[in-house]
Chain A
Amino acid sequence: MSSAADAHRRRRRAQPPAEQTFADLMNGFSLDSGRKRARTSAPVPEREATPVVPQEVGVATFEPTVREPEDASIVRAYAWTGGRTRSNINLEIETLVSANDQSRQSAGILQAEHQHVVELCRSPRSVAEVAALMRLPLGVVKVLLGDMAERGLVDVHQTASAGGDTPDLGLMERVLSGLRRL
């Protein structure tokens, strides 16, 4: 009799974590989980939120209907971007971005992934470098950096060839003299 009650209690104790896990999973898929986290503005431990993206992932895993828990982290990466795959700001892979005074001042209250970018960009880094060092796909990083630039958290520096045009002669001259000095 008492053992049955114990078992019942055990079951009840076991339930909340199970619900938690499921809720976590669902949060991973919800498109604005990033924004929700920002509203609570509780400082999130950086390491916990460090995104680890599986290296070999098929395109199919980005369909919103995917349910496998092991894909949650990369889905979460896309959740930061609100499911968008394009940025409003034109970023080439070699475009340099750097943290500015505003991001340094608001360092404590940023979303973990924004915090991460600010840390990385204390010295200027290219979009490609941010993607490589954060181990995130280029597309995700472009959207992330585009958002941060729109909110004034990073400065986006001029890329000589922005807009797909070839670099101008002035830049080529500069590259040439730079190479000669190497």
Chain B
Amino acid sequence: MKNWIKTKNNERLDLALIPVLPVYELREEIIELKKRPIAFFGKDWGKGYVRLFVVLADDEQGELLVSSTIFDATMREYESITQVIPAFHMFEREFYEQFGIKPLNHPWLKPVRHKQNDYEFFEMEGEEVHEVAVGPIHAGVIEPGHFRFMCHGESVYHLEIMLGYQNRGVENLMLEAPSNQLAESIAGDSVIAYNTAYSQVMEALREIKISNKAELIRKAALEMERIAIHIGDMGAISGDIAYSMGAAVFGVTRTLVINTLLEWSGSRFARGLVTVGGVNFDLPQSLIKSTLKTLDKVETDVVRMTKTMLKNSTVMSRLEKTGTVSAERAEEIGLVGMAARASGYPLDSRFDFQDKWVAELELKQKKFKAKGDVNSRFKIRYKEIKQSISMVRKILAKLEEFANEEILTSSCVAYKKDSFVVSIVEGWRGEVVHVGMTDGFGNLSCYKIKDPSFNNWYGLALAVRNNGISDFPLCNKSFNLSYAGFDL
């Protein structure tokens, strides 16, 4: 394995140890290894050179494989990897957009976040064929994006999704003025996931070790976030099939969870809780007690409502066999997180790249009978809510052992020079990946972010194929992907 360097989640790697391969060799290695890409990005290497970094995930071993290649100013193209491994399609498009180095024979080398006016949509011709264009502003209170449906009568032949409207230049801002508040605002529905990933990168680059207590509070908050958003999504799915009782009950149940987070941190989405060096707020016994009590009620309400709902044949007829993505397809296009698990592709970085708490708290990944349809994505949320509630209970019980520990470690330490850190956090959508790099002066020189939506938007496009166009809102909600996290 001299062509790759192995590292772990949240571990600092010396930049000098990362191999540099000729691009054709790197391509062959990637194809041969058959591992999942979690980062694939360029960095300006000075004097017209561009260095391309590749991070592959070895989910079975819990390891990350890192390698790179350097393009000089005359090398403006290479043979695309996407034509062999489709999961690279978005990564290669992004690299092309940012550095102008062309992946040859890429099947659809379209813009990712910029130049929407130059976007060439696929077109379909024939009798009863028509197109429906929606967005960027949608009917509900949601983020902007443009959808173009190619329809044959009522059924959708293909959907193209053009994003980029939300682009705020986050990766550049991160280099200029990195802060926890900025990290929290990249995707405001995954506050804890993003802020934890950012904080872990910063801590690894500075080699700070945070207290057990802080680690556990972060972990509990991450599960609380998952519980809250999953319940909200179940309500939204109910709303989209006009099952108002579900929408109302899940809506108010979610309020209980986010109001608990408000008690933890002063914000309903737990903004300000996680910070570099630990957490800002301790969880006193009284709060732990009230949280456990709330979780009991939440669990009862969610179980009762879900059972009622799934007994209803009119509900089931809308959820079952709608928007199906098969396990093979999910793996082929590189779905991640909850959507992948609902398709029977069991990726979960909480367990694949586990920290010490998974063993200590005896947390187990649960099997899920996946069918890949909206019903599966509804049910997996239900199962994950129950699992997360039990995890929070275990974490809060464990907290007692560390009651005397500090919640905050001083972070006034300089970055280590020439370092490379990958941090993966399993947010409620899936893996949130942050990569940080420092240069020889000890300055932050590169910050790269990958939201699970970066992988999963294409999954939505596949899900709506051969479905009625009126089922699109339902399919969309069942994925509930991030626009801001994709657009950065």
Real binding pair: no
